[in-house]
Amino acid sequence: MKIGILGGGQLGRMLIQEALKYDDEFYVLDPKPECSCAHISFFTQGNFNDKNTVFSFGKDKDVVSIEIEHVSVEGLEMLEEKGVKVIPSSNIIKIIQQKILQKQFYEEHQIPSPEFQVILSREEEIIIGFPFVQKLNTGGYDGKGVQVIKDENDLSKLWDEPSVLEKLVDIDKELSLIIAKNESGEIKTFPVTEMVADPQLNLLDFNICPAQITDDVQTQIDKIAEQFMQAANSEGLFAIELFLDTDGKVWVNETAPRLHNSGHQTQEGNTNSQFEQFYRVLKNLPLADTSHFAYSGMLNLVGDEHHSGKVKYEGLENVLKLPNSYVHLYGKTDTKPGRKMGHINVLADSREKLMQDLIHIKSLVKVVAEK
Ligand code: ADP
């Protein structure tokens, strides 16, 4: 089968890596000839935000999907009209692309998500109470395009762009659920994962799976997952990012209509990974078992803040000497401060040991530039 993917980053790379054990051809569209997928796929250099480029890339494929959501929805609609299978649907990608539509979607379908107000410019009257979080309608990623407005004095910081203003949640834990649905209607979820963020870089830091949550929280999450899949009405693999607040209530932060950083530890931590599952969605195969072994975790290898240039992974050999640690690099030649360059998955018999190992391993490696 000819599988076309818009975006050639690490998510696509790990999908192809997993799926090479089956017999398919992977085609990738990305503007950067040095992207993570360029040398492991049938590669087309081009702009996935341009509708005609997307259409001409996809028109002879059996299925077209994404590994980044900021793509031309119009191009995907043209493919759907021509009869090319697009997963997930252009409609759900369009909703998720824009924070305003995404929030309205949760509201319309009674999916719990923090209270919000929409503004189109900073001239509008602010009716939501302080403190709140401003999220740009488009263009935000990895914590960029998100800022906290604490009080009146902070209002001068407000960005003058269409945004969602969202009530600041008193967060106990950030959680993530990865869920997949195939064309036959089969649905499977992965165990809930906890995400521990790095306050400095705002880039996700550790994943811990399974999350330490009560039965009540699990029940709330199951209900959200069911509501979301019903409302989305599309096959695909989705990551639902959640907040657990200090009162024990679960809220949806946002959803990604694709493979997600919060699922990387499934590569060694579960009977099957998110990449295997996504492949099966693309081919409408029976979905894979998602059970977890013991505890698994992941740490991102991100570019050190003082280094730009040709990448060097300092201390990686010390990690390779350890049992139960698995290194994954993304094939990026150059590092930049905060750039996601790879990750390390870690397995352990207990949550305590996992945390210890993650912290230890993080101290062993540094992503720097060659001198
Ligand atoms: P991105 O899409 O860039 O990852 P998010 O919407 O996930 O942006 O926001 C980044 C981080 O900001 C979240 O992981 C969370 O820590 C914090 N955050 C976002 N919205 C809220 C909120 N309503 N209340 C409290 N913290 C929030």
DSSP 8-state secondary structure symbol assigned to residue 124: S
The counts of H helices and E strands in the chain are 10, 21
Quote the ligand 1 centre to 115 CA distance (angstroms): 14
- Mutational test site, ligand 1, from 253, 255, 261, 300, max ligand atoms within 8 Å of CB: 253
Hey, what's the torsion of the CAs at 298, 245, 153, 163, to 10 degrees? 70
Q: What percent of the chain has pLDDT over 90?
A: 95
Determine if ligand 1 sits within 6 Å of the CB of residue 133: yes
Compute the distance between CA of residue 158 and CA of residue 164 in angstroms, rounded to an integer: 11
Quote the ligand 1 centre to 139 CA distance (angstroms): 14
pLDDT class of 196 with cuts at 50, 70, 90 = confident
DSSP 8-state secondary structure symbol assigned to residue 20: T
Run of H or E including 242: strand 236-245
Read off the pLDDT of each residue in 356-369 and give the average, rounded to a whole number. 94
Determine if ligand 1 sits within 6 Å of the CB of residue 50: no
Confidence (pLDDT) at 329: 98
Confidence (pLDDT) at 141: 67
The residue nearest atom 8 of ligand 1, judged by CA position, is 143
Residue 205: other Cβ atoms inside 10 A: 18
Confidence (pLDDT) at 53: 98
pLDDT tens digits, residue range 303-318? Answer: 999 999 999 999 999 9
Read off the pLDDT of each residue in 182-195 and give the average, rounded to a whole number. 98
pLDDT class of 144 with cuts at 50, 70, 90 = confident
Checking if the pLDDT of 203 tops 60, the result is no
Q: What is the pTM of this model?
A: 0.96
Confidence (pLDDT) at 198: 61
Quote the ligand 1 centre to 267 CA distance (angstroms): 26
Quote the ligand 1 centre to 211 CA distance (angstroms): 19
Q: What is the mean pLDDT of the chain?
A: 96
How long a stretch of residues is the chain?
Answer: 371
pLDDT tens digits, residue range 226-282? Answer: 999 999 999 999 999 999 999 999 999 999 999 999 999 999 999 999 999 999 999
Domain spans of the chain? Answer: 2-86, 115-167, 171-369
Determine if ligand 1 sits within 6 Å of the CB of residue 201: no
Determine if ligand 1 sits within 6 Å of the CB of residue 166: yes
- Please state which of the four CATH numbers 3.40.50.20, 3.30.530.20, 3.20.20.80, 3.40.50.300 is assigned to the domain occupying 2-86: 3.40.50.20
Q: Give me the CATH code for the 115-167 domain, please.
A: 3.30.1490.20
pLDDT class of 40 with cuts at 50, 70, 90 = very high
Of ligand 1's listed atoms, the one at least distance from the Cα of 140 is 3
Quote the ligand 1 centre to 29 CA distance (angstroms): 29
Checking if the pLDDT of 369 tops 60, the result is yes
Determine if ligand 1 sits within 6 Å of the CB of residue 46: no
Confidence (pLDDT) at 45: 98
Q: Does domain 171-369 have CATH number 3.30.1120.10?
A: no
Determine if ligand 1 sits within 6 Å of the CB of residue 141: yes
Compute the distance between CA of residue 155 and CA of residue 157 in angstroms, rounded to an integer: 5
CA-closest candidate to residue 29, choices 11, 8, 49: 8
Determine if ligand 1 sits within 6 Å of the CB of residue 168: yes
